[in-house]
Structure 1
Amino acid sequence: MVNHVHRCYFTAGHSRRTGHYNVQRSRPGEKPPYQRCSSQDSLDELALDDYWKELAIIQHTGDTEPQEEVQLKVADEGEQEEAWLTEAGLATLFDESAADGEDSMVLLSTLTRTQAAAVEKRVETLKQTLRKRNKSYSVPDVRDIFKPPASQDTKDDESASSGGSDNTKKETVSSGEHSEAEPCGGGAETETDINLEVSFSEQALLSYKDGSKVTQPVNEADDKLPDFKVVRDKTGMTKVGDLAAADMKKVRRLVLIEMTALFDTAGIDLKTHKPLKIKVKESGLFGVPLSTVLEQDQKRVPGSRVPLIMQRLISHIEEEGLHTEGLLRVPGASTRVKAVCQELEQKFYDGLFSWETLKQHDAASLLKLFIRELPHPLLTVEYFSAFVSVLKFPTKKQQLQALNLLVLLLPESSRDTLKALLEFLQRVIDHKEQNKMTLNNVAVVMAPNIFMFKGFRSKFSEQQEFAMATGMANIVRLLIRYQNLLWTIPKFVMNQVRKQNTENQKKMNRDRAVKKLLKKMAYDRDKNSDKTEKNTETEGGFIRVQAPQFSKVSMAVQLTEELQASDILARFLSQDSSVSVKREDLCLYEIGGNIKERCLDEETYMKALLELNPSAEWVIKSVQR
């Protein structure tokens, strides 16, 4: 059913009747029947009028240029498992010649029981498939992959998955950019508490064992959506972009395994799709692959992470004023939008386009056009069905946990572009008193532009059409409302990364040749090095903070229970007047030890973090945005 519904949604062959967007009705002129779905929020029929009107606008506007139709392909059984294991960094489980074999073993040693079960399931399915095909791959028995751990190892694994629960506080995450921190009351966890320290799939497993795998009633109104509180650890929150590439690679592999484990635990069948190769435009702005647009932009503005055309359209809309009534809902004139689109293609990069003549509603229409005409969806073909299936989870908390993992799985270009779009949409909603665009309104209008992208064709029944409309609108609503949570890397994942780095470092030390020579070198080096000084300072309640990028090379900072990263940055700026960098462009980095490099959340408590990573060095640098 999951795959069927997923295939059914990809369509653009519609016709317009009675002011609504309909598809080959059995009774002409009727809207699809309104039904409440127990597995998802249901938007009222009046709100969905905007959805059908938006679809009609999309059809009427038509394509800017013809494009080859994209076809989805579900990998054959066996192929899907091979692809999953490879992406998870576990290719050695079916191909002994694959690279990163030793890293795979370290990765396996850090998995929780639900994550291990997800791996075992894929290995067993692959083994059975290959056996049917008489293939000669040497796939290990699942019982040989994870051996029962010793009692101490079990404790270590539990620690890695939970990360400890001391010294935490809760951060309220609501719509918009703002969050309010409050002390943890130490009471029982509630449905609105988001615990980032324990594996999401482990949490789901425990809740199902308690008999709570029942869809909870949910409120439809925007102001009735719950304000989720994030359990915040003193060692700091880690956001996307805070980590070095090597650690982010580990994060992505762990998140893939965790996401799969969460879907498995909930009993949600998930089939990933892959797009067949199609001919796409190799240059331009609209209907061009996101990666191609960014390559063009980076030649002009190095380091660009969000398409320049999208940034400029958003900037223009905000300059003209977010108070415009019906912003995003009221379309620009289709002929004028098409003409402006062609003019932008010719003049944008040369800086010759006359932005002062661009009307507000036209700019909003162009922004939506850019998103939906991407040859492949912003949410990617690979994980599109997973996004569609999120509402099958029985609770809002689990839906948000699934969305959190899926956002982390997106390619960097898609993730950054989606973030910029959602932040803009929230700013539109912040002006709802003037523009009359509430969270529901914006979600309903944007859903077809995000989920109905250029090139997909199919047919579906009236009931499926309506289910898709309500489902997609509600997913967009969750993405907008809880965006501050979705770009956070859960602490249990970070603990697993730290454990992998620790194990890899131990192995490097064990495998060094000429051990005696290296011991002597280490002794001679440590005897007179800064490391001895650093350790002495740490034992005396001090840490040494380096700032080689600036004139102040280093400074000693006394540790206290309440010392935060923000305090160190403030002290640095007060002591070095020659620093011309803005405070918001500076970051204190944790480097080495059990992490490669991490930009610290300013609310990180330094003493608590030092206990977690005693071998780290502390460096102040400019943030690479």
Structure 2
Amino acid sequence: MDVLKNNCESIRILASRELNKHGINLKLKNLPRKKISVKRTCYGVAIRNLDMVDMILGKNKITIPKIFYNLCTFIGSDMNVEGIFRIEGSKIKQKNTIKYIDKQCRIPDDISIIEAGAVLKAFIRNLPDALIHQDYERWFVEAAKLPEDHIVEALLLAVFLLPLEHIYLLMYFMQFFQEITTHSSTNKMDLHNMAIVISPNIFEQTNKVSAETSSIRCDITKIMMQHAKEIGCVPEKIIQKLDDFDTLQAQKKCRFFW
């Protein structure tokens, strides 16, 4: 049984309660869904509206956008390229590649690894709803400020507050980016360097980002890459509470209808 998929909202509430125990007492909000009027196929399209593909990631069956899967698969064909994800390449070529993908719904044959990395970042950065929306970033930031021995647990719990499609994509991306860093002897992209170039793309884009905020975002991204295979894995203590929680919620609904 897919525990996360079948119990997403219950896990979300229970995870917020576990974070409350860590002293993170923020209001749990619903993610504002932006309405996009411009008709596009890929670029600037919400995750839930993209062409999706099912895949197995470890022991998990997840669903992610096909365009991200194809770009990562291509980049993964040669992870030893120096400056991968750090070097931007030609802005004109990047713009033309995005237009091509939007029109053809596939990656052009003449794209390079460097260009693919730049285009992937652009796609992530321009999602209408950021992977980690600003309403949820506060939970991640507060988790990162906890005593060192609680940070990892709290950040992994904070992931469950996100919409399911965002959780799946974070699971996939963090494992993929972590794999890139295992080739750092040749591509020069260790965990720290990768976190620096990736973190601005997964958080909400704002006009002014302070040095402190940038540093915290970088630290959060680095920790998530370090613990990539744990992202999306529902803790046993939450699984044990699911039946009682769902029963209680059902009873509340019954009392409401009566």
Q: What TM-score results when the alignment is normalised by the length of structure 2?
A: 0.83
Counterpart residue identity of residue 443, structure 1:
A
Aligned to 1:410: 162
1:282–1:431 CA distance, 2 compared to 1 (3 A): same
1:504–1:477 CA distance, 2 compared to 1 (3 A): closer
The answer on whether the counterparts of 2:79 and 2:187 sit within 8 Å (CA) in structure 1 is yes
Deviations 1:516-568 (A, max 9, x none): xxxxxxxxxxxxxxxxxxxxxxxxxxxxxxxxxxxxxxxxxxxxxxxxxxxxx
Aligned-partner Cα distance in 2 for 1:380–1:386: 10
Alignment of 1:470 with 2:215, yes or no, is yes
The answer on whether the counterparts of 1:371 and 1:449 sit within 8 Å (CA) in structure 2 is yes
Unpaired runs of at least 5, structure 1: 1-240, 508-625
Aligned to 2:88: 331
Percent identity of equivalent pairs = 25
Structure with higher strand content? 1
How far off its partner does 1:451 sit? 2.1
Residue 354 of structure 1, aligned match among 88, 108, 112: 108
The answer on whether the counterparts of 1:281 and 1:289 sit within 8 Å (CA) in structure 2 is no
How far off its partner does 1:430 sit? 0.9
Aligned to 1:372: 125
Deviations 1:45-96 (A, max 9, x none): xxxxxxxxxxxxxxxxxxxxxxxxxxxxxxxxxxxxxxxxxxxxxxxxxxxx
How far off its partner does 1:307 sit? 0.8
Aligned-partner Cα distance in 2 for 1:487–1:308: 20
Unpaired runs of at least 5, structure 2: 56-61, 252-258
Residue 100 of structure 2, aligned match among 340, 343, 346: 343
How far off its partner does 1:305 sit? 1.4
Aligned to 1:251: 11
1:501–1:359 CA distance, 2 compared to 1 (3 A): closer
Alignment of 1:443 with 2:195, yes or no, is yes
1:369–1:501 CA distance, 2 compared to 1 (3 A): closer
Structure with higher helix content? 2
How far off its partner does 1:343 sit? 1.0
How far off its partner does 1:379 sit? 1.4
Q: Larger relative CO (CA 8 A, sep 6+): 1 or 2?
A: 2
Aligned to 1:66: none
Aligned-partner Cα distance in 1 for 2:249–2:4: 16
Residue 45 of structure 2, aligned match among 274, 288, 296: 288
Q: How many residues end up aligned between the 2 structures?
A: 244
Deviations 1:349-375 (A, max 9, x none): xx5x532x1011100000000110011
Give the secondary structure class of the aligned counterpart of 1:305. Answer: strand
Counterpart residue identity of residue 488, structure 1:
C
How far off its partner does 1:275 sit? 4.4
How far off its partner does 1:283 sit? 3.0
Residue 314 of structure 1, aligned match among 72, 97, 106: 72
1:501–1:310 CA distance, 2 compared to 1 (3 A): closer
1:486–1:263 CA distance, 2 compared to 1 (3 A): farther
1:380–1:435 CA distance, 2 compared to 1 (3 A): same
How far off its partner does 1:501 sit? 6.4
The correspondence of residues 291-302 of structure 1 with structure 2, limited to 5 A, is: 291-293=48-50, 297-298=51-52
RMSD across aligned positions (CA): 2.8
Residue 22 of structure 2, aligned match among 262, 286, 298: 262
Q: What TM-score results when the alignment is normalised by the length of structure 1?
A: 0.36
How far off its partner does 1:302 sit? 7.3
Aligned-partner Cα distance in 2 for 1:257–1:328: 37
1:337–1:504 CA distance, 2 compared to 1 (3 A): closer
The answer on whether the counterparts of 2:40 and 2:102 sit within 8 Å (CA) in structure 1 is no
Aligned-partner Cα distance in 2 for 1:498–1:272: 21
Give the secondary structure class of the aligned counterpart of 2:216. Answer: helix
Aligned-partner Cα distance in 2 for 1:272–1:394: 22
The answer on whether the counterparts of 2:175 and 2:229 sit within 8 Å (CA) in structure 1 is no
